Structures are given as structure tokens and as C-alpha cells.
């Protein structure tokens, strides 16, 4: 329904330099020729990982949320379990690991909800969201940089919290809205089984 | 349903330097004390604008999409009209301007769909999504860095294209899923009238 567009890029990269990097991101400064033919610059933020997020739902139809203080926003945020899958790794592998490390939970059933680019005007970050069910509790092992709290919220309450903005993390909103819409839409619109590809935009 | 968490930040900023900037983003490199008490670093990407996106629907229940080649992803992307609202500006004002400049359309009715943080592990970017209806066509005036194509897609087809991943831009996915769920959920769950605040996380 949306035909592929094989148009060549109207941008030309003249040069690229690494402007900043740390363990999590690289920032490139490119000299470019813009679509209008004029010289310009483009700063590209390149995370070293794909973003993965997990809507984990238990047998009581509750969603698993992780609370943490987000340094970037200088505020507390409740979110679905999220993390980074190194580029080249199957994002499902990363999602399983992040769920286990952050929360201690393993899931007997996984389905891919969707793939996305997160903020494509300034970053090349892509990601994937999964629905995880048949949960069993093991041992958690969060990163030393993480100070996490777990909470279970009834699924419908979580969707309401997206609507009101109490849950304001974009991946959390996307994942919960998608599952809620799949439920509302009935059969034939369920998430597909997860794909083994690591090409998040493929 | 999600009690406010008044916990103080477990992070302490020791120092901050500007590592990179251009007209659109700043990147800060911070020396910090991490939640575990150990010294660490944090790179914070700070866009100079809030992200705004507009789900614009006409009287035939079609959604307005903007196609452009995304330099960051090196691929073409169909998206809802999106842009940046300078921080401190009411994001609704920015949304009206971006819709008009990119597409030429003005809307007689605006409703806020939701606010969000977009990629809060590495950026402090926040944004807002709006539903715009009662559209009338005026004159477009895109930025010189933009090479845009417009297309109308039936609303249900656009939601299907989110499900399949053909529409892979996160704000486009969030906005369309939200409107679709509001429709499925019936009365009492409609988007609220837009707020004049510019505190996107308030």
C-alpha cells in the first residue's frame, strides 16, 4: 500500500569527522551537499546499540514496569524494560538479555511488535519492541549504572497512563498502544512471530 | 494510578563541557557520580527544539504523509508532518507552523494526542503529537534543507502500514496508534483539548 520509493539520496556526503564519542554514542559531523544543491552540515548521533523494549505481561494481565531516575531528563520515569542490543546482534537476543538482567524475568513466549527509527532527524537509532508472556522469575543482574525499581501495573491502567502522559517514554507508549490496538482489533491483526534478522529497517 | 516518585536524583553532575554543537543539536559531556557512587561519564544529546508531529486527517478519513529521504538513515521515509518547536515556544504553535510550512495545510481543529520523551537514555528530547482536522490548503514553504513529497493514505491503511513496519518512524507510529486506539476505545477516551503549556513533561 506504500510503494517503495527508489529515489536516490538527494544528499551527498563530502566529508565526515568524529566529533564526540563515549561508550554508548558517537557523534559525526558531516559536510554535505543538501537537497537544494547548496553546501551544508549534518550532525549524526549514532548510538552503538539498537534500542530494544519489552512489553512483559503476566498471567494476571499485568505489565512489568521499571522505574529509574533518567539523568538526561532529570526526572523519574516508569518504563517497560528497555536496553541496547549491539548492532549486528539479533535484537530479540538483546531483548531477552535486557529483560533478564533488568528484571530477572524470562519469558516462554516472544512476539515482535514492531521496528522503528526513533528520532531520525538527528540520529540513526533504530529499535524493536517485543511482547513477552509466560514469565518466570530468575535472578536479576542490572548494570552498575542502573538503579532500578520494578512494579506491576494492570494492563488497562498502563494504557490509561500512556493516554494521560504519566508514562511518557516513547518506546513504552508505542509498545503499550500497539498491544492495546491489537487486542481491540481482534484476530488477523496479532503481532507476527519475531524475525531472526538484525536488519531493523529491512 | 502511578504515584509520583519524589526520590532525589541518584546521579550527581561533577562538571559539564560542550563537546559538539551545530544549529540543531548540542552534545554535552558530563563527569558524574553514578547511582552506585562510582565516578562515570554521561553524554547528553540536547536538541535545540521539541519534536512536534501532526496526524492530519481530511474529510475522506485520509492521513497526510510527508515523504523525504532521511540523511541519518540513508533511506526514504514516509511520516506524518514533523518538525521542531523551539524550546520555550508552545509546541502547538510549532505544530501549526510545521504543518503549514511543510504541507501548506491549515487545520480548523487541533487536539493534543500525547507528550513524550523520545530516547531518554542519551537525549533530553521531548515532544508532542497532535490530531489536526478540518484541513484547508494554503501555500507551503519548506526549509531549504527539505525535499518533500506529500501523499494521502486512507487512515486504516496507514495504521496497517504501522503494523507491518512500512511506516517505521516512531512519532508516526505513536500518533497513528493513538488515534486508532482512541477510535477503538470509544467515547471517554478521546484526546484532550491541547494545553497551552510548553512544559512537555509537566
Closest residue of chain B to A171, computed from CA coordinates: B118
Q: Does residue B28 share a domain with residue B91?
A: no
Nearest Cα of chain B lies from the Cα of A15 at a distance, in angstroms, of 14
In 3-state terms, what secondary structure has residue B101? helix
First to last CA, chain A: 17
> Does residue B88 lie in a domain region?
yes
Regarding whether A55 and A35 lie in a shared domain, the answer is no
Same domain, B76 and B171: yes
Instruction: Report the predicted TM-score, pTM, of the whole model to 2 decimal places.
Output: 0.90
Residue B54 in any domain: the answer is yes
Within-domain flag for A73? yes
Residue of B nearest to A149 (CA): B5
Instruction: Identify all chain A residues contacting B41, using CB atoms and an 8 Å cutoff.
Output: 22
Q: Which cell goes with A183?
A: 487486542
Task: Look at residue A201 and tell me if it is in a domain.
Answer: no
Has residue A191 been placed in a domain?
Answer: no
In the prediction, which pLDDT does B24 show?
Answer: 96
Indicate the SS3 state at residue B164.
Answer: helix
Check whether residue A27 and residue A93 sit in a common domain: no
Q: What CA–CA distance (Å, rounded) separates A35 from B74?
A: 13
B114 lies in the same domain as B22:
no
Chain-chain contact of A69 with B9 (C-beta, under 8 angstroms): yes
> Which of A7, A173, A175 is best to mutate for the B interface (most B CBs within 10 A)?
A173
From the candidates A34, A123, A124, A130, which should be mutated to test the interface with B, based on the most B CB atoms within 10 A?
A123
Judging contacts by C-beta atoms under 8 Å, the chain A residues touching residue B78 are 2, 5
Tell me which chain B residues have a C-beta less than 8 angstroms from the C-beta of A74: 9
Q: Are residue B162 and residue B63 in the same domain, yes or no?
A: yes
Q: Do A174 and A157 share a structural domain? A: yes
Do B152 and B77 have their domain in common? yes
SS3 content of chain A, % helix, strand, coil (to 5): 20, 45, 35
- Going from the C-alpha of A108 to that of each of A82, A96, A115, B36, B77, the distances in angstroms are 18, 10, 21, 32, 35
pLDDT in tens, A85-130: 999 999 999 999 999 999 999 999 999 999 999 999 999 999 999 9
pLDDT tens track for A154-188: 999 999 999 999 999 999 999 999 999 999 974 34
Same domain flag for B31 and B59: no
User: Is the pLDDT assigned to residue A32 strictly greater than 70?
Assistant: yes
- Number of folded domains that form chain B: 2
Q: Which residues in chain A are contacts of B9 at CB distance < 8 A?
A: 69, 71, 74
Residue B7 lies in a domain: no
DSSP alpha helices (H): ranges in chain B?
91-103, 155-164, 170-185
Domain that holds residue A100: 49-185
Q: What are phi and psi of B41, to 5 degrees?
A: -130, 155
Same domain, yes or no, for B95 and B179?
Answer: yes
Residue B104 included in any domain: yes
Nearest to A67 among B5, B44, B67 (CB): B5
pLDDT at B187: 38
d(CA A12, CA A135): 48
Q: What is the pLDDT along chain B (202 residues), one digit of tens a residue?
A: 455 557 789 999 999 999 999 999 999 999 999 999 999 999 999 999 999 999 999 999 999 999 999 999 999 999 999 999 999 999 999 999 999 999 999 999 999 999 999 999 999 999 999 999 999 998 777 776 667 899 999 999 999 999 999 999 999 999 999 999 999 974 344 455 555 444 555 4
Q: Is residue A1 part of a domain?
A: no
Question: In this complex, do A73 and B160 lie within 8 Å of one another by their Cβ atoms?
Answer: no
* Contact at CB, A44 and B116, closer than 8 angstroms: no
Q: A142 and A54 share a domain?
A: yes
Q: What is the distance between the alpha carbons of residues A62 and B174, in angstroms, rounded to a whole number?
A: 22
- Do B95 and B56 fall into the same domain? yes
Residue pairs between chains A and B whose CB atoms are closer than 8 Å: 239
DSSP count for chain B of H helices, then E strands: 3, 10
User: Which pLDDT score, from 0 to 100, does residue A145 have?
Assistant: 66
Residue A77: list chain B partners with CB under 8 A.
117, 120
- Domain containing A79 — which CATH number? 3.90.79.10
Predicted complex ipTM: 0.90
Q: Which of A143, A135, A65 is nearest to A101 (CA)?
A: A143
Amino acid at each position: 500500500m506504500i510503494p517503495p520509493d527508489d529515489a536516490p539520496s538527494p544528499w551527498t556526503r563530502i566529508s565526515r569527522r568524529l566529533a564526540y564519542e563515549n561508550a554508548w554514542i558517537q557523534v559525526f559531523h558531516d559536510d554535505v551537499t543538501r537537497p537544494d544543491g547548496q553546501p551544508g552540515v549534518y550532525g549524526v548521533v549514532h548510538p552503538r546499540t539498537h534500542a530494544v523494549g519489552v512489553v512483559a505481561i503476566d498471567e494476571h494481565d499485568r505489565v512489568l514496569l521499571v522505574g529509574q531516575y533518567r539523568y538526561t531528563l532529570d526526572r523519574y520515569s516508569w518504563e517497560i524494560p528497555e536496553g541496547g542490543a549491539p548492532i549486528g546482534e539479533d535484537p530479540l537476543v538483546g531483548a531477552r538479555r535486557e529483560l533478564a538482567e533488568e528484571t530477572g524475568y524470562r519469558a516462554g513466549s516472544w512476539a515482535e511488535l514492531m521496528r522503528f527509527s526513533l528520532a531520525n532527524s538527528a540520529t540513526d537509532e533504530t529499535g524493536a519492541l517485543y511482547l513477552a508472556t509466560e514469565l518466570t522469575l530468575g535472578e536479576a543482574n542490572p548494570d552498575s549504572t542502573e538503579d532500578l525499581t520494578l512494579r506491576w501495573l494492570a494492563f488497562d491502567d498502563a494504557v490509561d497512563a500512556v493516554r494521560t502522559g504519566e508514562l511518557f517514554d516513547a518506546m513504552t507508549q508505542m509498545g503499550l498502544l500497539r498491544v492495546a490496538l491489537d487486542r481491540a482489533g481482534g484476530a488477523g491483526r496479532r503481532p507476527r512471530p519475531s524475525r531472526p534478522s538484525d536488519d531493523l529497517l529491512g
